[in-house]
Amino acid sequence: MRILLTNDDGIFAPGIQALWQELAKIGEITVVAPDSERSATSQAITVHQPIRVDQHCFDNERVSGWRIGGTPTDCVKIAVEALLDEKPDIVVSGINQGPNLGTDVLYSGTVSAAIEGALLGIPALAVSLNSWQVSDFTVAAKFTSNLVLTTLAKTLPPNTLLNVNVPPLKKEEISGVEVTRLGVIEYENIFEQRKDPRGRSYYWMGGKPVAVDNSEGSDVAALKQGKISVTPIHFDLTNYNIMPLIEEWKLST
């Protein structure tokens, strides 16, 4: 089994390291990951400047790879279109340090890398640990390894990926696995204005996340209940339901 592994925290992040150590037990791993952190880059691609590609050494004979001067989506594109001899059997993105839940997935480099895999016709998983502090990825890595095997055995429908969020708990503390929909997260007090040493103002984006939809069945709710959430994600942004309504507007030039 050939697994393409990427992330948005960069190739040196502990989350991706935990993942390749675990996944190397079940397959041949190619890591193609950003050379530095590229969080919140969504599905950005690098088209106005060249992309650097350097081979990277791993301390494991079943792991090889490259570090990329680009975004997570660049990594998946360049791996599949230029670096690998054959399409991988699966793309795995993660393990992200921090959750990727609800509407926040729109900004996520981790999830976008998996979307790019699915766009290229490859089964894909995005995996995140629901903590900015806890750095024990063991449970999440083991769950991912099992999910890779299940996904390939059961066959994921085309144009779909799975977005997985794991609570920062010991295996025996986790309350189960739930197939969820995306909730809705909004942010309060999102911008902080400051002055630089020359008196010119600048802003920092921050903000306190507020779960606007954390009702039963959402990924946000599942994590609150100490469960692993598995959300099937598609990428057809057409809103078919309202097409008839817009047709009634009878637009003309």
ω before 233 within 30° of 0 (cis)? no
CB 46 within 8 A of CB 134: no
- Length of the chain, please? 253
Q: Quick one: 61 or 133, whose CB is closer to a second copy? A: 133
DSSP state of 70: S
Q: Provide the minimum distance between the beta carbon of 25 and a second copy in the complex, in angstroms, as a whole number.
A: 18
Q: How far apart are CA 209 and CA 62, in angstroms?
A: 40
Q: What is the smallest separation between the CB atom of 227 and a second copy, expressed in angstroms?
A: 9
Q: How far is the CB of 170 from a second copy (least distance, A)?
A: 10
Residue 102 near residue 213 (C-beta atoms within 8 A): yes
Q: Are residues 82 and 50 in contact, defined by beta-carbon separation less than 8 angstroms? A: no
Q: What is the largest CA-CA distance in the chain?
A: 63
Q: Of 61 and 172, which has the nearer Cβ to a second copy?
A: 172
Indicate the pairing of strand 184-188 with strand 208-213.
Answer: antiparallel
Least Å distance between CB 232 and a second copy? 4
Residue for token digits 């390749």? 20
**Which residues partner with 47 through β-bridges?**
none
Q: What tokens appear for 158 in the block? A: 């085309």
State which residue, 60 or 150, has the beta carbon closest to a second copy.
150
| Cβ 61 to a second copy shortest distance, Å | 25
Q: Return the number of the residue (62 or 64) whose C-beta is nearest a second copy.
A: 64
**Look-up: residue for tokens 């594109």?**
77
* Nearer CB in complex with a second copy: 1/60: 1
| β-pairing verdict for 124-129 and 90-97 | parallel
- Minimum distance from residue 33 beta carbon to a second copy (Å): 16
CB closer to a second copy out of 42 and 131: 42
